[in-house]
Amino acid sequence: MSDTAHPALGNHLIRYTSETFPEIIVRAKGSWVWDKQGKAILDFTSGQMCSTLGHNHPAIVEALKSSADTAIHLFSGMIPDTVVDLSERMATILPAPLSKSMFVNTGGEANEAAIKIAKFATGGYETVALGGSWHGAGGGGAAVSMASDRKNHGPTMPGVYAIPEPNAYRCPVEHCRDACDLTCMKVGFRMLDMQWAGAPAAVIAEPILSAGGVIVPPEGYFKALRQECEARGLMLIFDEAQTAFGRVGEWFATDGLGVTPDIMAVSKTLGGGVPLAATITSDAIEETAHQRGFSHYTSHVSDPLPAAVGVAVLQTIESENLIERAKEMGGYLRERMLDLQQKYEVIGDVRGQGLLIGVELVEDREARVPHHKLGARTTKRCLELGLSMNIRRRPERGSVWRIAPPLTVTRDEIDTATAILDQALGESLDAMAREC
């Protein structure tokens, strides 16, 4: 990956990221993509974490073809039958009292709408996010995203506060080591109480902080967070962009937490590679927001084509038993990463749930200094060997591979990826030793 122009990319594309691959991709299927030279690349990022069923799953292709024959796009005030069908199917799997959905394009947009609903329903505007969070690139989503560089973007949405994330491996308040006792939350809300204007709207949180380094909060964290919210009149929003629809071995991550949010945003894993997201809430909150004038009227809200794909995704997850498969394959993937940890001292931590795994690289296991150089070098070598890996590198949050293959991944593919990662790590370490 490079942040400079590459001849194959031409001269007419705006560089929207520093992580542009030099390869031009022409085809994708299952867990694999192919470049113009015919090279096969094992995709352990599921595209941009979206291709839940693998690339170009037959059920998604059929849904696209069928919708192309019926309706692709409609006036935003018209409700197609596929949207009604999808909303009804969603209601059967959502935890009570969540029951009403609005379908939009991206997770960032779903989070924008979720924050709006909270503001309408509470009458407040102040919003709280966790450090290490990522909720989108739009005005509201970017304002509550703390995992990425916030410089040079100008003023953000007013009334936003951050509390430290529960990262027991790299404690942000330098209190815990390997076992979070929620001091980070206590400190965060104490600071919040010092600063805010008393106009509460919501706390927004990912059940697993993905872009922040695949941080899995400790047991009881979200019950305590719910109590802090209730004490201050804050609604709780879960951003399940990367954890819903089987990724972590449950329909939703909230199913295993003992806590149901007031509002939920889902995306990525719902569309199976097609832009589709949803903002979800209860009957009572929807009614209050509606009575107070809530509006989120966009060109592609309730579009029929992505909704048809969403129905196909839910059907396929059920018919192919992919939630159980995610548990099984996720357990196997974790085992293979733990095997590598035994072999390489530079692997400091392996964490995650289901098929969302984080592998953190360190220069020294005791000091836990992030090994950014090794992360960048090994990721590049993996791609050369035919494995696409995503590395999250932040000075204060470590160097972490975020591994998220599709729910359809096989043991053989996990073994292939592990072998490539093993080779890339070994070669990179040897090369760096020779350079010293």
Q: Has 206 been annotated as catalytic?
A: yes
Q: Has 29 been annotated as catalytic?
A: no
Q: Has 353 been annotated as catalytic?
A: no
DSSP state for residue 304 in the 8-state scheme: H
SS3 of 333-382: the string is: HHHHHHHHHHHCCCEEEEEEECCEEEEEEECCCCCCCECHHHHHHHHHHH
Q: Pairing between strand 235-239 and 263-266?
A: parallel
- Which amino acid, 17? T
Which residue in the list 134, 170, 240, 401 is annotated as catalytic?
A: 134
Nearest to 349 by CA among 335, 333, 365, 367: 365
**What is the C-alpha to C-alpha distance for residues 64 and 61, in angstroms, rounded to an integer?**
5
Q: Has 334 been annotated as catalytic?
A: no
Which residue in the list 23, 242, 334, 360 is annotated as catalytic?
A: 242
| Sheet-wide strand order for 25-29 | 25-29, 32-35, 40-43, 387-388
Which residue in the list 126, 165, 206, 413 is annotated as catalytic?
A: 206
φ, ψ (nearest 5 deg) of residue 16: -95, 0
Which residue in the list 100, 247, 268, 325 is annotated as catalytic?
A: 268
**What is the C-alpha to C-alpha distance for residues 329 and 34, in angstroms, rounded to an integer?**
24
Which residue in the list 116, 334, 377, 402 is annotated as catalytic?
A: 402
Structure tokens at 293: 């004038």
Q: Has 112 been annotated as catalytic?
A: no
Nearest to 102 by CA among 274, 237, 295, 251: 295
Nearest to 266 by CA among 278, 253, 256, 249: 278
List beta partners, residue 200.
126
Which residue in the list 165, 228, 239, 250 is annotated as catalytic?
A: 239
| Active site residues per annotation | 134, 206, 239, 242, 268, 402
